[in-house]
């Protein structure tokens, strides 16, 4: 139970700070309005780092169903815990997104772009092409899970690993994230998308459920293949 609480807390912090930086950059009359992709990529890297630090004393701090699946495939995580972890992570994502909505409450009313509002909560493609959008999420998550498993073969100074993971997320964001907004995490997209659907957000539009399968299945597939490739390396 403590491990599930850890995954919930870590994913909550991840989404609170990650969606929070997107809100800061995207919403009207925010002091960070227009800060751009560099702020978002660094913000998400820091969000992952701090989410891990906030949960690693309770759980493995996966904070991501694709990572949980990859670790199970690699044989370093029990299959019986995969679904409970995924549920805890998604719930953490929902609650984190709700708190972002509360924190920026006055700004939704002055932001008249439904796409920008949805972009605070969920990812979307720069060019909608489901095949290549899927491949982009696949590739980004493949790199993520393979690298996380590779890190286990090295030695880091105690307490440094979350920072390295945050740098990995930042690198993926800078290099691969411009196509889809790099969900690379089903809970990161699904949880906040659910929050967008149910919350009475001013000026919101459609939650774009027709696209939602891409940031769920793409990362799960990429994480699985990344883990399988790792297993092929002696």
Range of the domain at 83: 1-232
pLDDT of 155 reads: 73
CATH number of the domain encompassing residue 4:
1.20.1080.10
Residue 30 is encoded by which pair of tokens? 């925010």
pLDDT at position 57 over 80: yes
User: CA nearest 195: which of 112, 133, 102, 128?
Assistant: 102
Over residues 26-44, mean pLDDT: 96
The number of domains in the chain is 1
pLDDT of 158 reads: 67
pLDDT of 139 reads: 98
In the predicted model, what is the mean pLDDT of the chain? 96
Over residues 130-159, mean pLDDT: 90
**In which band, very low, low, confident or very high, does the pLDDT at 152 lie, cut at 50, 70 and 90?**
confident
pLDDT at position 147 over 70: yes
CA 99 and chain centroid, separation: 16
Over residues 7-25, mean pLDDT: 98
């Amino acid at each position: 139970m403590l491990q599930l609480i850890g995954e919930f807390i870590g994913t909550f912090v991840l989404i609170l700070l990650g969606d929070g930086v997107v809100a800061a950059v995207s919403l009207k009359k925010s002091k960070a309005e227009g800060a751009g992709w560099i702020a978002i990529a660094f913000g998400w890297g820091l969000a992952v780092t701090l989410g891990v630090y906030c949960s690693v004393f309770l759980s493995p701090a996966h904070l991501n169903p694709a990572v949980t699946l990859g670790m199970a495939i690699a044989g370093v995580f029990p299959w019986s815990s995969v679904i409970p972890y995924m549920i805890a992570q998604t719930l953490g994502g929902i609650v984190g997104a709700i708190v972002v909505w509360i924190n920026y409450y006055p700004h939704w009313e002055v932001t008249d772009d439904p796409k920008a509002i949805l972009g605070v909560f969920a990812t979307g493609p720069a060019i909608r092409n489901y095949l290549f959008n899927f491949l982009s999420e696949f590739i980004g998550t493949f790199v993520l899970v393979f690298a996380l498993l590779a890190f286990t073969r090295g030695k880091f100074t105690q307490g440094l690993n979350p920072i390295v993971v945050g740098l990995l997320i930042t690198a993926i964001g800078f290099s691969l994230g411009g196509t889809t907004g790099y969900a690379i995490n089903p809970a990161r997209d699904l949880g906040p998308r659910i929050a967008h659907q149910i919350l009475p957000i001013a000026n919101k539009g459609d939650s774009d459920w027709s696209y939602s399968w891409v940031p769920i299945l793409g990362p799960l597939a990429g994480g699985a293949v990344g883990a399988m490739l790792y297993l092929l390396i002696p």
